[in-house]
Chains A and B, each alone.
Chain A
Amino acid sequence: MASKPLSQEFTKGLWGENPIFRQLLGMCPTLAVTNAVINGIAMSLATSFVLIFSSLVVASIKKLIPSQVRIASYIVVIASFVTMADRFLAAFFPPISKNLGPYIPLIVVNCIILGRQEAFSSKNSVGRSLIDAFGMSLGFTLALLVLSSIREILGTGTWLGHQVLGSWFEPWIIMILPPGAFLTLGILLGIIILIDQKLQRSK
């Protein structure tokens, strides 16, 4: 596995091992904050920050940590970066921090982050871990962007606050409510499997 070319280490996070669409990890923030594109972007940035820096630190100190206390150490590392992200948003972007509420602190229990440390950064070099973290972050961002775009456009007729659908469009309010999150992601998962099957058949 370690002999994979670096480019594949990066792209696997986008499609083949996309954390949300494939591994079904980190569902809570995915569903909760995608009612508007701006929230999705803020969440992606915060999660990427935590994932990339945690991977960097964990990959650098992995040899020093006895395996019995590795999970505890990883959790402290992750929680520290989450706190930084949380305080930064609260200090400089109070409206976003208010919108996302408890979901920024909840990045600490986002399974993607601990999962990547345990499955990848603790076994690979710093460079490789960083590339993996960037790929996974981008995959996560992509998923959140798709989901929040669908929900915001159908739910309010806007994208990132700009009107994109005409006044003829009666917003489907359900899309920005909790049920819309479940329905959109469920149908999206089905579509992705369908595309994948088509791709494999044509090979």
Chain B
Amino acid sequence: MELLAIFISAILINNFVLHYFLGICPFLGVSKKIDSAVSMGLAVTFVMTITAIVSWIINHWILLPFNLEYLQIVSFILIIASLVQLVEMFIRKSSPPLYQALGIYLPLITTNCAIMGLALLAALKNYNFVETVIFGVGSGVGFTLAIVLMAGIREQLDLADVPEPLKGAGIALIVAGIMALGFFGFSGMIK
């Protein structure tokens, strides 16, 4: 029950993009087409899940037992950077079709604050191992949901008559604001 609450809350209530403002760069940058938005979402979900696992292990087996919590930021960012590299190499070797789909998005993920945010938030919320993994998967799904919805709206928006100065990032942010307002309606559904 607790786990389900964490999962749903990560997707709908405390959505990474619309509530924590994490991963805004890819959210605005890669949301022009639904296809690429889906691929980006999948890549992020994949990396988030692995990051959740690895960062928990590092945090609870190395940093906390040896009182090294001040190395948290450095170690998390290095883990994420090397993890993304490893995942990229692994996918390229093992599954060329998957690499075709996700390849160009993986390097972009290193500087994606959503991944770092996930590692930090999981540590901050003091989740145990299973909760951290569920939180990672849920956050990834939430990110995917937000970016795919956004891409769907933006594909339609191309046909709309948007005022010249708002074209591009301006209107995308306003749409995101209205989406965030919609998602706000999910608050309070978990008791």
Measured CB to CB, the residues of A under 8 A from B are 24-25, 27-29, 31-32, 71-72, 75-76, 79-80, 82-83, 86-87, 101-102, 105-106, 108-111, 114, 174, 177-183, 185-187, 189-191, 193-194, 197
When C-beta atoms are compared, the residue in chain B nearest to A84 turns out to be B70
The 8 residue pairs across chains A and B that have the minimum distance between CB atoms:
A186-B173, A182-B177, A183-B177, A186-B174, A193-B165, A27-B24, A179-B180, A179-B181
Whether A83 pairs with B19 at a CB distance below 8 angstroms is no
> Chain A contacts of B178 at CB under 8 A?
179, 183
State in angstroms the CA–CA spacing of A32 and B22 once bound together: 9
Q: Say yes or no for B72: interface residue by CB 8 A criterion.
A: yes
CB pair A86–B174 under 8 Å, yes or no, is: no
Known contacts A75-B78, A80-B74, A108-B73: A28-B113 contact under CB 8 Å: yes
A190 touches B166 (CB 8 A): yes
Q: Are A180 and B177 in touch, CB under 8 angstroms?
A: yes
Pairwise interchain contact B171-A186, C-beta atoms closer than 8 A: yes
Asked whether any CB of chain A lies closer than 8 Å to the CB of B104, the reply is: no
B residues touching A (Cβ–Cβ < 8 Å)? 18-25, 28, 70-74, 77-78, 81, 111-113, 116-117, 120-121, 124, 163-166, 169-174, 176-178, 180-181, 184
Enumerate chain B residues within 8 angstroms of A193, measured Cβ to Cβ.
Answer: 164-166, 170
Q: Are A186 and B170 in contact (CB under 8 A)?
A: yes
Cross-chain contact A79 with B21 (CB below 8 angstroms): no
Chain A contacts for B23, CB-based, 8 A: 28
Pairwise interchain contact A187-B74, C-beta atoms closer than 8 A:
no
- Please indicate the chain B residues that have their CB under 8 angstroms from the CB of A187 in the complex: 166, 170, 174
Supply 28 A–B pairs (Cβ within 8 Å), ascending by A: A24-B28, A29-B21, A75-B78, A75-B81, A76-B78, A79-B78, A82-B73, A83-B71, A83-B72, A87-B70, A106-B116, A106-B117, A106-B120, A109-B77, A111-B25, A174-B181, A178-B19, A179-B177, A179-B178, A179-B181, A179-B184, A180-B177, A183-B173, A185-B173, A186-B171, A189-B166, A193-B164, A193-B165
| CB pair B180 A105 closer than 8 Å | no
* Cα–Cα, bound, A187→B181 (Å): 16
Distance in angstroms between the alpha carbons of A106 and B77 in the assembled complex: 10
Which A residues are CB-close (under 8 A) to B70?
A: 83, 87
Q: In the assembled complex, which residues on chain B have CB atoms less than 8 Å from the CB atom of A191? A: 165
With a 10 A CB-CB cut-off, give which of B112, B116, B165, B171 has the most chain A CB atoms: B165
- The residue on B at minimum CB distance from A195 is B165
User: For residue A87, which residues in chain B have a CB less than 8 angstroms away from its CB?
Assistant: 70
CA distance A102 to B22 in the complex (A): 11
Chain B residue contacts of A29, Cβ below 8 A: 21
**Residue pair A114, B111 in contact (C-beta under 8 Å):** yes
CA distance in complex: A32, B117 (Å):
12
Instruction: Select A190's contact among B21, B124, B165, beta carbons within 8 Å.
Output: B165
- Across the interface, do B117 and A102 meet the contact criterion of CB distance under 8 Å? yes
Provided the pairs A27-B28, A190-B165 are in contact, do residues A182 and B74 lie with their beta carbons within 8 angstroms? no
**Chain B residues within an 8 Å CB radius of A182:** 173-174, 176-177, 180
Asked whether, in the complex, the Cβ of B112 is within 8 Å of the Cβ of A109, the reply is yes
Q: Which residues of B contact A190 (CB under 8 A)?
A: 163, 165-166, 170
Quick check: A86 and B173 within 8 Å, CB to CB?
no
Q: How far is the CA of A105 from the CA of B55 in the complex (A)?
A: 15
With a cutoff of 8 Å between Cβ atoms, the chain B residues found around residue A25 in the complex are 25
B165 and A197 contact, CB distance less than 8 A: yes
Q: Chain B's nearest CB lies how many Å from the CB of A121?
A: 17
Give which listed residue, A24, A80, A106, A178, contacts B113 with CB less than 8 A: A106
